[in-house]
């Protein structure tokens, strides 16, 4: 089959990681890049050796020789650009969070179904070597029935502002730490749990660090959030996220089943043998970088997977339905926080 001809819209850090991924993939070819910022567009197109550049994404989408696009723009533009791209007959790899809310994700999924195009969400932690290894272990039944997980992505201090401060403006971001980095940890552990159907959310979101951003910057998002999410199969996940709090930062990724458990960052497996608890460090602490479909950079694995799905050679890992359910969980945390009640999904 011929190469998948790709283009990237939005050339911030993730946009460039997508470019690197496509350029490393033998079945893909990057044919165009797009950004509203002309100097950045010129700089990135030169750096990556891409001749065709667009400021207006509509003009790029009109090109018949583009099969697929990466949408790597601020959160408020995910839905519009994804829908326009699908309507133009392109396959779409959309950055996280899937959308501003579940309603947008529903519309995006509907458009992908109607147009019979691939819509994949760029949930990059699914492509980490540790995640791929653990997923294989869980699929093989090594941990038994999974019934609980902890997912955390926390920073002691680390509030991103982004271009024109969009990260801290709810109208353009949809939320703060929870929707920005909490979504990564939540998605990773939910994926390892087997994406069970979420049924209830109880959560709190806090905004306590407005004083740390420059004067005049609109700041109306959460800088920390916690939640308890329950699933239809009885499994439960505890989620925490922070951009800033007076606690240490770092990742928490733990999952437990009836036969064993695991913690990540670094990976450790907890089991029991002959009545004695047993801790195992796979690979002696060095996960082989090539584990799964990841040749070193998780974005390589992510973009290669997207290309393989378009070529009919792989089953989509991060589906439009996953995008809807992820946004339902995040919407649920914000709704629970503002009402003070558990939200039934
Ligand atoms: N996967 C990850 O680890 C990861 C990391 C960072 C950000 N992200 C996500 O990637 C997205 C972009 O984040 P960022 O940090 O690059 O933001 P950014 O503000 O640094 O860059 C976004 C770029 O998009 C361009 N842009 C905006 N609207 C556009 C439009 N209509 N047409 C063309 N270009 C447009 C801007 O000019 C800018 O260059 C966000 O959704 C963010 O959540 C993902």
CA distance linking residue 258 with residue 306, whole number of Å? 33
CA distance linking residue 101 with residue 238, whole number of Å? 21
Question: Is residue 295 pLDDT above 80, yes or no?
Answer: no
In angstroms, what is the span from residue 49 Cα to ligand 1's centroid? 20
Q: What is the mean pLDDT of residues 94-120?
A: 98
148-194 residue pLDDT tens? 999 999 999 999 999 999 999 999 999 999 999 999 999 999 999 99
| Mean pLDDT, all residues of the chain | 96
CA distance linking residue 127 with residue 300, whole number of Å? 9
In angstroms, what is the span from residue 12 Cα to ligand 1's centroid? 5
Q: How many residues does the chain have?
A: 345
Report the first-to-last Cα separation within the chain, whole angstroms.
Answer: 42
Q: From the CA of 54, give the closest atom in ligand 1.
A: 33
Out of 8, 11, 12, mutate this one to test ligand 1's pocket (max ligand atoms within 8 Å of CB): namely 12
Q: How far is CA 18 from CA 129, 224, 323, in A?
A: 18, 28, 19
CA distance linking residue 209 with residue 304, whole number of Å? 39
The listed CATH number (3.20.20.140, 3.40.50.300, 3.40.640.10, 3.30.360.10) that belongs to domain 126-292+320-344: 3.30.360.10
CATH class of 4-124: alpha beta
Task: Band the pLDDT of 112: cuts 50, 70, 90.
Answer: very high
CATH 3.40.50.720 placement within the chain:
4-124
224-250 residue pLDDT tens? 999 999 999 999 999 999 999 999 999
* Residues in contact with ligand 1 (CB, 6 Å cut-off): 9-15, 34-37, 40, 57, 72-75, 77, 95-96, 122, 124, 162-163, 166, 180
CA distance linking residue 246 with residue 103, whole number of Å? 34
CATH 3.30.360.10 placement within the chain:
126-292+320-344
CA distance linking residue 267 with residue 136, whole number of Å? 14
Question: Is residue 145 pLDDT above 90, yes or no?
Answer: yes
């Amino acid at each position: 089959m011929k190469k998948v001809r790709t283009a990237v819209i939005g050339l911030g850090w993730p946009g460039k990681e997508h470019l690197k991924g496509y350029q490393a993939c033998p079945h893909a070819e990057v044919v165009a890049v797009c950004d509203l910022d002309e100097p950045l567009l010129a700089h990135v197109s030169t750096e990556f050796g891409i001749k065709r550049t667009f400021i207006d994404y509509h003009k790029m989408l009109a090109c018949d020789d583009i099969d697929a696009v990466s949408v790597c723009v601020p959160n408020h533009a995910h839905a519009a650009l994804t829908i326009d791209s699908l309507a133009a007959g392109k396959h779409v790899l959309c950055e996280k969070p899937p959308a501003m809310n579940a309603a947008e994700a529903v519309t995006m999924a509907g458009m992908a179904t109607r147009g019979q195009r691939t819509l994949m969400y760029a949930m990059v932690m699914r492509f980490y070597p540790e995640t791929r290894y653990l997923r294989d272990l869980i699929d093989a039944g090594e941990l038994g029935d999974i019934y609980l997980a902890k997912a955390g992505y926390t920073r002691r201090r680390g509030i991103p502002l982004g271009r024109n401060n969009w990260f801290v403006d709810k109208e353009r971001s949809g939320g703060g730490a929870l929707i920005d980095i909490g979504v990564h940890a939540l998605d990773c552990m939910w994926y390892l749990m087997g994406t069970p159907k979420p049924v209830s959310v109880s959560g709190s979101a806090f905004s306590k660090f407005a004083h740390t951003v420059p004067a005049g910057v609109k700041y109306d998002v959460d800088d920390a959030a916690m939640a308890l999410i329950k699933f239809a199969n009885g499994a439960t996940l505890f989620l925490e996220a922070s951009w800033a709090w007076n606690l240490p930062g770092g990742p928490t990724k733990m999952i437990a089943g009836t036969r064993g458990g695991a913690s990540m960052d670094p990976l450790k497996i907890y089991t029991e043998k002959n009545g004695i608890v047993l801790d195992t460090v796979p690979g002696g602490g060095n996960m082989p970088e090539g584990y799964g479909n990841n040749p070193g950079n998780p974005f390589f694995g992510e973009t290669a997977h997207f290309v393989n799905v378009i070529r009919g050679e792989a089953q989509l890992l991060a589906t439009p339905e996953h995008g809807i359910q992820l946004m339902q969980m995040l919407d649920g945390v914000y709704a629970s926080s503002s009402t003070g009640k558990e939200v039934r999904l």
